[in-house]
Structure 1
């Protein structure tokens, strides 16, 4: 049985890795570190284009687990059909909650309080004072209430909000309150001052935020996207931004990276960050802990955590 493990970190950088496997360092370079057919556990390089992440998968005929270092797995899904049945795909639940929730709060506060305008004023040596919206007393809607959505609400809790509504694929009850199904979005959007998108990209969420969704948002509302760019219809969003009816803070865009000259760069009322929800100092220790835990389970033939799907089922 093959025992190669492909890691985007050098093995000596990860405390607690189990003995036994042959650890191969590969972070997306052109040359593979070994024969992909001998890889049993593949850790997908972080923040690499999908073409890079997927390149070795068709040749990984012995792989038994594929581990992403992102919460989303859409960048590897197209190549899973080339794998044999029974391969487990695991995501990085537990790695990105803190950093993504921090950025979400940063984008909300910066947008409401006009921080980009202050920065431009500083560049121009202009004192741009005046009243700005506060997060206090606002109603917030979180669309996509998994571990990241829950972490976002944890950080919103001290801000004296009027209400937090939660939406996910299916309804359930949490310690903080009910989670509504996606079908209830039409009734929740008109009541929300801030709409936060933290949902994974799936066939059901691709283009979820379309012209109809946006038209139901209240005048002056803020849309915050820390999910994936294609969750939002960019053309429909541009139309709303250019009308001045709503504002947006986007950590992800469609297309991405946003090319020079794209109208979204200079649309009124939009704050753009370059997909930096995950890559912070918080990423490294959490990612390495996850890999040590997962590989220990793998070597001991125990069930892996964070299994999103298993091929052939």
Structure 2
């Protein structure tokens, strides 16, 4: 395996980790108004399922973007300039979600918390759909010209395939989040999340299967039938587990679906990193978009040393906060009252 291939695979692994872990974060944020309906205590139970881990999950995106910048600067430059507006919206939405989660409990006021919940919702719904749209366009190809600039109009990026990609990640993260809440909670919140997961499963499976088959037939390679098969198997496992209310197996199933779908996308893309719909001569590949061999070599040694430490620490975090939550575990609000103090 060449250094260029190694870093392409590593970036794929980083995005896989991001979609699996941040995927249920997005799902939890999107489902807060539904699963938390009726009381603020229920909303706090739902939000606290990701409380210890959501910020660590976002590190996968930062690392993936940094690896893309260092290993494939031409890919990074063309992608982030051509998709600038959408990626900026994702960034703003993530910042809004961060602020809303961190400051929600700082002030003891229902209006304040309701506004923070809106921020959490925007910061979850928008990226969940936008990431599918972005990666569908990357796999399909963009009007990349000889100067490595994305030409054409915005309408070129809103193809039926790209829109189906957006719907796929949105629904898949919703289902993944509902199953995660059922895995992490007990009592009435878990009962409602299980019921919601059962309702979401059929439309999600239909959309995921359609997008996966379209990707394989239009852009896939011979070996990418394997991740497509793994994704189908994951859907079957999740379906059986959701029906039997086996939360751990259901979460394992959707995890495999997201992971296999990401492998399918990156496998369909290889050896390109950003195909051009104008001419094959304008494709960005792992060879013409990469950094120098010396840069890749230094980065590889750093990745080999640091990556196991980061993975070990994050795994330990999930182990420490593995217990289920119920409404009985939620203490009273301790935030400051809104407005001037009263005698």
TM (norm. structure 2) is 0.26
TM (norm. structure 1) is 0.28
**Higher RCO (C-alpha under 8 Å, 6+ residues apart):** 2
